[in-house]
Amino acid sequence: MANENGILIFGELNKDNTIKPVVKELVTKARSLKEKIWNQRIMVCIVGPRINYNNIVHELGRCGADEVVIVCDNRLTEYDSNYTPELFTQIAQKYPPRIILIGATTNGKEVASYTATKLETGLTADCTNLDIGENNLLLSTRPTFGGQLTADILCRTFPQMATVQENTFKIEETDHFVNAIFNWIDIDKIEKKIEIIKAKEKINHSRDLSTSKIIIAGGKGACKDNGFALIYQLAQKMNAAVGGSREAYEHGYITKSQQIGQTGKTVTPELYIAVGISGANQHLTSIKNSGKIIAINKDRNAPIFKQADIGIVGDLFEVLPNLIEKFDIVNKEENNE
Ligand SMILES: Cc1cc2nc3c(=O)[nH]c(=O)nc-3n(C[C@H](O)[C@H](O)[C@H](O)COP(=O)(O)OP(=O)(O)OC[C@H]3O[C@@H](n4cnc5c(N)ncnc54)[C@H](O)[C@@H]3O)c2cc1C
């Protein structure tokens, strides 16, 4: 039986210093884990600049956090590979938790692997569910064998660590009292191992996948000629965000932040339009909570059609120009009214 107490969550901030929704998802999930194991507290650790954290603390409290530990320094204006993972690890050492949960974002993945290595414990990555199993151990569920199966994994070393993709759990609020703890750590004592010489923002021409009501995603079928240009054109007419499969990312048609699937993002739009995507399990698992799914594919046996509400069997290079033309006509009519 572990002496460690509590569930510690990495409180990742957005660039504008708001809290990432995945943190609130994890706090909500931690509440249901806490109910099953005796005497646990839910702690969120935020590493960030010196700002007023009142709103964030209350937001996290409303999701069920018992304590928010804040490590702040004016040099931490944004995520820093030199300091953020180390400072989070130091908090995990100071308040040894039983369980550590981290959002599987780009930065979260770095924090998780760094912390697991430093604490010499296991890490189950990209989980799709979390529960409490035998001997009150964390039971993490994740896809395996290329997404053909799901595996339930019991971690027997402490702390038990897991990362979870964004949009996996619902955020639910409750009435709850929360404590803020400010922790000062001298960051000058941390050895700087990485020097960033130049940072260049990757240009992403798409709207945000997590907030858009409509997503049009392209797959390998669209990775030729003007396939993605047509997708962007339609997206503009429909106020939609553009995403894609791993194939589309690997062929350079989308950025990593636009990749949807097991190793990309989980999305929950009201409407998901899959264009030239076959419907591999690793893709389907991350779109299953979409409101409606429309699939455009020239192969009538493509697995995507099993999950789609509406299937269009056809060549995307004919279907998309037709749809774009229809939107042009509708828009013209609306403007003339
Ligand atoms: C561990 C692991 C993690 C993975 N993570 C992800 C992930 O995060 N996201 C992800 O997407 N995949 C992921 N994959 C890869 C996944 O298994 C598939 O290989 C991938 O999703 C296939 O992408 P696709 O559908 O674009 O391409 P394909 O499977 O090649 O399908 C292309 C489709 O386009 C159709 N098509 C071709 N031309 C046209 C046309 N002119 N008009 C209409 N339709 C056309 C074809 O009929 C076909 O169905 C992962 C795999 C593994 C093993």
The β-bridge partners of 179 are: 67
Residue 282 CA, ligand 1 centroid: distance in Å = 9
Domain ranges in the chain are 7-189, 214-336
- In tens, the pLDDT along 265-317 reads 899 999 999 999 999 998 998 999 999 999 999 999 999 999 999 999 999 99
Mean pLDDT of the chain, nearest integer = 93
Phi then psi for 227, rounded to 5 degrees? -50, -55
Question: How far is C-alpha 223 from the chain's CA centre?
Answer: 25
- Which is more confident, 264 or 32? 32
Most confident by average pLDDT, 51-55, 155-159, 181-185, 192-196: 51-55
- Kind of pairing between the strands at 160-164 and 123-127: parallel
pLDDT at residue 147 in the model: 66
Instruction: Answer for the pair 59, 172: CB distance below 8 angstroms, yes or no.
Output: no
Q: Is the pLDDT of residue 2 over 70?
A: no
Output the DSSP codes for 174-211: -----EEEE----GGGS----------PPP--SPPTTT
Give the number of other Cβ atoms within 10 Å of residue 114's Cβ: 16
- Domain 7-189: CATH class, spelled out: alpha beta
Does ligand 1 come within 6 angstroms of the Cβ of 218? no
Q: What is the pTM of this model?
A: 0.75
Q: What distance in angstroms lies between residue 202's CA and the mean position of ligand 1's atoms? A: 23
Within the chain, how many helices (H) and strands (E) appear?
Answer: 9, 15
Which of 165, 255, 277 should be mutated for ligand 1, with most atoms under 8 A from CB?
277
Ligand 1 lined by 259 (C-beta under 6 Å): yes
Residue 14 belongs to what H/E stretch? none
Contact criterion met (CB below 8 Å) for 159 and 98: yes
Report the Cα–Cα distance between both ends of the chain, in Å, rounded: 72
Closest residue by Cα to atom 26, ligand 1, is 219
Determine whether the shortest distance from the Cβ of 302 to ligand 1 is under 6 A.
yes
309 lines ligand 1 (CB under 6 A): no
pLDDT band for 146, please (50, 70, 90 cuts): low
Alpha carbon of 218 to ligand 1 centroid (Å): 9
Q: What angle do CA 140, 146, 150 make, to 5 degrees?
A: 30
Judged against a pLDDT cut of 70, whether residue 1 lies above it is answered with no
Provide φ and ψ at 96, rounded to 5°.
Answer: -60, 115
Q: How far apart are the CA of 206 and the centre of ligand 1, in A?
A: 20
What is the rounded distance in angstroms from the CA atom of residue 6 to the CA atom of residue 14?
25
- 80: Cα separation from own chain's centroid: 19
Q: How far is the CA of 277 from the centre of ligand 1 (A)?
A: 5
Coil/strand/helix, residue 313:
strand
Q: How many angstroms separate the CA atoms of 87 and 84, rounded? A: 5
Task: Tell which residue, 294, 333, 290, 330, has the closest CA to residue 313.
Answer: 294
Longest CA–CA separation in the chain, Å: 72
Q: Is it true that domain 214-336 has CATH number 3.40.50.300?
A: no
| DSSP secondary structure letter of residue 43 | E
Are both 7-189 and 214-336 of the same fold?
A: yes
